[in-house]
Amino acid sequence: MDPTHRTPDPAALLHAAMSGGGDSIAPWTPPALAELAGAFPELAITGLVGQGGMAAVYRAEQTRLGRTVALKVLRQDLAAKPQFVDRFLREARALAALSNPHVLAIFDFGERQGFCYLLTEFVDGANLRELMRLGTLSPAEVLRIVPQICAGLHFAHQHGVVHRDIKPENVLVDRAGLVKLADFGLAKLAGEPPRTPLTGPTTVFGTPHYMAPEQWQGSGSVDHRADIYSLGVVLYELLTGKLPVGTYAPASRQPGVPAGIDQVVQRTLQPEPEQRYQSAHEVQRDLERQQPATPPAVTPTPAPAPRGVLRWLVAAVLIAAACAAPIAWLVHAQVQADFAKRDPDEQLRQAEQLLAAIQGTVADGKPWTGALPEIAPPQPRVSLPNWLRLGPFRWALVATGMLVWLCLLAAFLRARHPAVPRWQYVAALVLVTSPLTVGLAAGQWAIAMRYAQPTAGVLPFVAMFVIAAAAVAGIKKAWQLAGNRRQPLVDRLPRALPLTIGLLALGIAGCGVYMATNLQVDAWSRREIGPIVAMRLAGMTRQQVLTRMGPPLTISRSPGAMIWGYRGLDGQERSDAVQFTQGQVTMVTTDAVLLVPNPTPTQAPWLGQTVTEVIAALGPATDRSTSTDPNAETVLSWRNEVAVTVSADGIVVGVHR
Amino acid sequence: MTFQTTRWSLILRAQLPGAEGHAAFGELCAAYQAPVYTFFRRHGANQDRAAELTQGLFTDLLERDSLRTADPQRGRFRAFLKTCARHWWSNERDRAAARRRGGGRRPLAIDTDALETWLQDVAVDHLDADALFERRWAQTVIDRALWQLEQDELAAGRQTLFAELKPVLDGTQPREPWAVLADRLGTTEGALRVAAHRLRVRCRELLIAEVRDTLPDDHDPGHELQELLAALQAGAPGRNSGESR
């Protein structure tokens, strides 16, 4: 819900109007505007803005100068009492001595028709007490306000004025956020003896909480260091909302308060003046060093990502990318090993079926063209317990995932706003990465369930890591889009929801990709390996077999036929053979059913090829031995390095080195 | 906190003869027609009828200068208007005459849609017509004060600030931290809090002024505020829940 559309609670509004917002009930009636108008003809007094126990403050226009001023009028019955008039005068003198942006400016002082008055600049704002009623200030704002108090105090101290009544009520903030010290009624002026007793009923003003020990004990001299103590109390109260009474908790326990502040507070609150800061300027300097980790942006533009975030994100992507290749290799190995473990009984059964079919049909020596028996594709034997047993590649996958996740977490925490608890960030990361995790796990499961060719393990993994990289980029984007990072994350999660849903969709799409890839690979495997290969070879020419299967391992001849030997999938050379009759495959025999292309063609590079191809590759032969028998073989040799035996129909049937 | 005692009250102006009095009275009626309308609605009049009755009542007041017979020193405008409404309703039988007088003229436009929405949104089913009148009266006072506050802020060029700070006028904390809000508005947290504080103070002043406008000079606005608060709380859901009809 847009907060701006919320309407204020009417009952609360009325209640606030009745209670006067917590302002204390005035013990006396300040003079009416009309009364004052007579005494101050040059002023257009527009209203009463506040009243305390001793004086009332009016807002007035200095019509000739066209400026707004504040008219402070001493309570009339007190105007006859010297100590109160002295306080008023003291304030006027103190203000007059201090011309500083952080000290209230005075324009006039005097007495008119029985009104003792003070004319000062008008601060259209509120005091710190009133600001604190709106909730505890953020540490950043405290660190913006308190140094200004320090500046004003330091200026006063330099001019020999000790305020002696620093408290939130006496610090004003205007609409621009500029801080001004006010109410110098208790101030000690330059040239006064240090032990000037506080005038009049001191108990009326201030609270002892803000007084330095030497002030309320009445012992020892009270100098500017008493103000520094009070400043410390104000600083602590602004940060924590509490007074530093007894054994007070460190201010840095508040979220977002830099730890260094504690030392500043401690040094200002030392009971012995000698152990405190010796000047307000030092406090200011130390506070300005304590800017919170996330400095407030002056403009509403989003703050730049803090250092280290990008680094961790890049690390996450790099780790994911670097681990992709070894993991893919491990997958390859694992899947191959699993493949070899397939059920041998089932294979034999299928082979027998096939052989029976082929041999039955091609008995008359013609190329076989008949229909094939329906043979089920090889089925993997994968179960959940097997999968959960975590082969090495899955360990590697889990380890990589953890590493990537930790990098992301580090990036998140680097970007953490100090006011937001860490658990929120961890929760957010879990939320954002869970779709990805689910996607990866489901994809893995899909791979395990299909268990197809080695390529089946590699291709989905490539796809998986592309998706992982995209997800990392997505998380970073979500981070940026979710807006101002100084806002608590829980508030931003609703805005990140579409992106989370998007990532979930991505994860689901990833699963789809895995499934589709696996189905595709499965289809390839049906076409390329197993009994199907044998069927496809039927009727092919030698050149076609050569192209499909590579050079044979062995070649043997029988009357009217030639047999090429290949190896089975398990790497064993068996009687896997293709028989050619008149240049075409007429029979395929295999006891391992699966024929795979010869992986090491260099062993016998020319076997099965034509003599023309050999001459094209090696150049004209240097020697030739032949017999008169037209069916006999010919041996061609090249400088005694290599010799090939060529059959009568021009096929290389032996290679010798 | 005190206020100018010479504040020009609408009621006093409404009593003046001539155009100024009529204008002031018209303003007063326009401001406070909503409680009257809801009063008639709760008595069972349908929307059109309630609007007609409201217009009839105010037209009658204007034409007969009834207000002149009402001595503002005697009581509050709220009580006066409620009595008028009550009489107007009990004289329902003479409505034909009223319709002749007020039905044709539409001196006051009543936003019945907004009022109907309000009647539905605010759980007031358990209130009788008098209590509903009071409840709506309190709401009207607040609405007028808020409207005036908004006009003031608009004139001072702070409408954006006002829109953001309006929800926290009642003393609640903003949904976002102050610092975040300040960032968005391109100001500092301190300045924003100052603005919020000033706004609350001003809202308080306007509420009291608004109430004063409906009171005789010597009446304490605090009492009136208290009564309005009681009326609001009687209508507030939860405290006096709707099922206790």
Could you tell me if residue A167 is inside a domain?
yes
Chain A interface, mutation test: which of B204, B212, B239, most A Cβ atoms within 10 Å? B204
Burial class from Cβ neighbours inside 10 Å (0-12, 13-18, 19+) for residue A512 reads middle
* pLDDT grade for A539, boundaries at 50, 70 and 90: low
Query: Do both A114 and A131 map to the same domain?
Result: no
Identify whether the C-beta of residue B141 lies closer than 8 Å to the C-beta of residue B31. Answer: no
pLDDT in tens, B130-163: 888 888 888 888 888 888 889 888 888 888 888 8
Which residue in A53, A164, A182 sits closest to A122, CA to CA?
A182
- Asked whether the predicted pLDDT for residue A252 surpasses 70, the reply is yes
Cβ-based contacts of B135 with chain A (< 8 Å): none
What confidence score (pLDDT) does residue B11 get? 62
Query: Which CA distances in Å does A15 have to A84, A444, B197, B226, B228?
Result: 36, 63, 16, 8, 10
Q: Average per-residue pLDDT in chain A?
A: 69
Query: CB pairs below 8 Å between A and B: how many?
Result: 160
Instruction: Encode burial over A290-324: b for 16+ CB neighbours within 10 A, e otherwise.
Output: bebebebbeeeeebebeeebeebbebbbebbeebb
Please judge whether B200 and A16 are an interchain contact, meaning their C-beta atoms are less than 8 angstroms apart: yes
* pLDDT grade for B169, boundaries at 50, 70 and 90: confident
Amino acid at B12: L
Cβ-based contacts of A484 with chain B (< 8 Å): 180, 183-184
Cβ-based contacts of A135 with chain B (< 8 Å): 173, 178
Gap between the Cα atoms of A17 and A319, Å rounded: 62
One-character DSSP codes across A570-619:
TS-EEEEEEEEETTEEEEEE-SSS-B---S-GGGSTTTTSBHHHHHHHH-
Provide the shortest C-alpha distance from residue A306 to chain B (in Å). Answer: 17
Gap between the Cα atoms of A493 and A100, Å rounded: 46
Cβ-based contacts of A175 with chain B (< 8 Å): 191, 194-195, 198
Please judge whether A144 and B175 are an interchain contact, meaning their C-beta atoms are less than 8 angstroms apart: no
Please judge whether A10 and B179 are an interchain contact, meaning their C-beta atoms are less than 8 angstroms apart: no
Q: How far, in whole angstroms, is CA A558 from its chain's centroid?
A: 73
Out of B177, B197, B207, closest to residue A130 by CB: B197
A23: nearest CA in chain B?
B1
Q: Which of A72-86, A562-576, A622-636 has the highest mean pLDDT?
A: A72-86
Query: Do both A37 and A50 map to the same domain?
Result: yes
Three-state DSSP class for residue A650: coil
Q: If contacts are CB pairs under 8 Å, which of residues 157-196 in chain B contact chain A?
A: 163-164, 166-180, 182-191, 193-196
Q: Which residues pair with B163 in a beta bridge?
A: none
**A126 Cβ partners below 8 Å, 6+ apart?**
A172, A173, B193, B194, B197, B198
Contacts 24+ apart (CB under 8 A), A78-81: A78/A54, A79/A111, A79/A114, A79/A115, A79/A116
B196: nearest CA in chain A?
A134
Could you tell me if residue A331 is inside a domain?
yes
Provide the shortest C-alpha distance from residue B164 to chain A (in Å). Answer: 5
Instruction: Encode burial over A389-420: b for 16+ CB neighbours within 10 A, e otherwise.
Output: eebebbebbeebbeebbebbbbbbebbbbbbb
Gap between the Cα atoms of A21 and A133, Å rounded: 10
Chain A interface, mutation test: which of B135, B172, B194, most A Cβ atoms within 10 Å? B194
Percentage, residues of chain B above pLDDT 70: 74
> Could you report the predicted ipTM of this complex, rounded to two decimals?
0.72
Please judge whether A296 and B187 are an interchain contact, meaning their C-beta atoms are less than 8 angstroms apart: no
* pLDDT grade for A308, boundaries at 50, 70 and 90: low
Please judge whether A300 and B184 are an interchain contact, meaning their C-beta atoms are less than 8 angstroms apart: yes
Q: At A48, which CATH number?
A: 3.30.200.20
- Asked whether the predicted pLDDT for residue B117 surpasses 60, the reply is yes
What confidence score (pLDDT) does residue A207 get? 62
Please judge whether B138 and A145 are an interchain contact, meaning their C-beta atoms are less than 8 angstroms apart: no
Q: Which of A168-177, A402-411, A417-426 has the lowest mean pLDDT?
A: A417-426
Please judge whether A175 and B170 are an interchain contact, meaning their C-beta atoms are less than 8 angstroms apart: no
| pLDDT greater at residue B228 or residue B110 | B228
Look at strands A584-589 and A623-625 and give their pairing: unpaired
Q: Which of A254-258, A326-330, A642-646 has the lowest mean pLDDT?
A: A326-330
* pLDDT grade for A388, boundaries at 50, 70 and 90: very low
B18 touches chain A (CB under 8 A): no
Q: Which of A186-190, A243-247, A370-374, B215-219 has the lowest mean pLDDT?
A: A370-374
Gap between the Cα atoms of A131 and A145, Å rounded: 12
Cβ-based contacts of A488 with chain B (< 8 Å): 177
Please judge whether B180 and A297 are an interchain contact, meaning their C-beta atoms are less than 8 angstroms apart: no
CB atoms closer than 10 angstroms to residue B193: 27
Chain A interface, mutation test: which of B140, B189, B198, B223, most A Cβ atoms within 10 Å? B189
Cβ-based contacts of A21 with chain B (< 8 Å): 200-201, 204
Residue A94 belongs to what domain range?
22-121
Out of A11, A133, A137, closest to residue B229 by CB: A11
Residues in chain A: 657
Gap between the Cα atoms of A137 and B194, Å rounded: 12
pLDDT in tens, A576-622: 566 666 666 666 655 433 344 444 444 456 777 777 777 777 777 77
Three-state DSSP class for residue A406: helix
Provide the shortest C-alpha distance from residue B148 to chain A (in Å). Answer: 15
Query: Do both A614 and A648 map to the same domain?
Result: yes
Gap between the Cα atoms of A35 and A351, Å rounded: 119
Compute and round to an integer the Cα radius of gyration of chain A. 47
Cβ-based contacts of A179 with chain B (< 8 Å): 190
What confidence score (pLDDT) does residue A154 get? 92
Please judge whether A12 and B170 are an interchain contact, meaning their C-beta atoms are less than 8 angstroms apart: yes
Out of A14, A173, A491, closest to residue B176 by CB: A491
Token representation of residue B243: 């099922």
B158: nearest CA in chain A?
A175
Query: Do both A336 and A480 map to the same domain?
Result: yes
Please judge whether A173 and B190 are an interchain contact, meaning their C-beta atoms are less than 8 angstroms apart: yes
Query: Do both A213 and A235 map to the same domain?
Result: yes
pLDDT in tens, A15-48: 777 765 444 444 678 888 888 888 888 888 888 8
Cβ-based contacts of A130 with chain B (< 8 Å): 197
Q: At A197, which CATH number?
A: 1.10.510.10
Q: If contacts are CB pairs under 8 Å, which of residues 186-245 in chain B contact chain A?
A: 186-191, 193-198, 200-201, 203-204, 207-208, 222, 225-226, 228-229, 232-233, 236
Provide the shortest C-alpha distance from residue A144 to chain B (in Å). Answer: 9
Chain B interface, mutation test: which of A9, A14, A179, A299, most B Cβ atoms within 10 Å? A14
Gap between the Cα atoms of A235 and A145, Å rounded: 9
pLDDT in tens, A106-149: 888 888 888 889 899 998 888 888 888 888 788 888 888 999 99
Structural domain ending residue among the three candidates A528, A543, A567: A528
B164: nearest CA in chain A?
A4
| pLDDT greater at residue A476 or residue B229 | B229
Token representation of residue A647: 């059959």
Q: Which of A5-19, A25-39, A276-290, A524-538 has the highest mean pLDDT?
A: A276-290
Query: Do both A168 and A148 map to the same domain?
Result: yes
pLDDT in tens, A309-346: 667 777 777 777 676 666 666 655 555 555 555 554 55
What confidence score (pLDDT) does residue A152 get? 92
Kind and range of the H or E run holding A328: helix A309-340
Gap between the Cα atoms of A551 and A604, Å rounded: 7
| pLDDT greater at residue A256 or residue A21 | A256
Please judge whether B176 and A487 are an interchain contact, meaning their C-beta atoms are less than 8 angstroms apart: yes
Query: Which CA distances in Å does A287 have to A135, A228, A266, A341, B189?
Result: 22, 13, 13, 71, 18
What confidence score (pLDDT) does residue B163 get? 87
- Rounded (5°) CA angle A574-A580-A583: 150
- Asked whether the predicted pLDDT for residue B38 surpasses 60, the reply is yes
* pLDDT grade for A8, boundaries at 50, 70 and 90: confident
Token representation of residue B12: 């006093």
The mean pLDDT value for A509-517 works out to: 65
Q: Which residues pair with A637 in a beta bridge?
A: A623, A643
pLDDT in tens, A173-187: 988 888 999 888 778
The DSSP call for residue A351 is: H
Chain A interface, mutation test: which of B147, B165, B173, B183, most A Cβ atoms within 10 Å? B183
Domain count, chain A: 4
Query: Do both A436 and A545 map to the same domain?
Result: no
Cβ-based contacts of B229 with chain A (< 8 Å): 11, 14-15, 18
Query: Which CA distances in Å does B28 have to A361, B12, B15?
Result: 110, 11, 11
Identify whether the C-beta of residue A578 lies closer than 8 Å to the C-beta of residue A537. Answer: yes
Identify whether the C-beta of residue A531 lies closer than 8 Å to the C-beta of residue A593. Answer: yes
Which residue in B230, B132, B136, B76 sits closest to A15, CA to CA?
B230
Q: Which of A359-363, B171-175, B214-218 has the lowest mean pLDDT?
A: A359-363
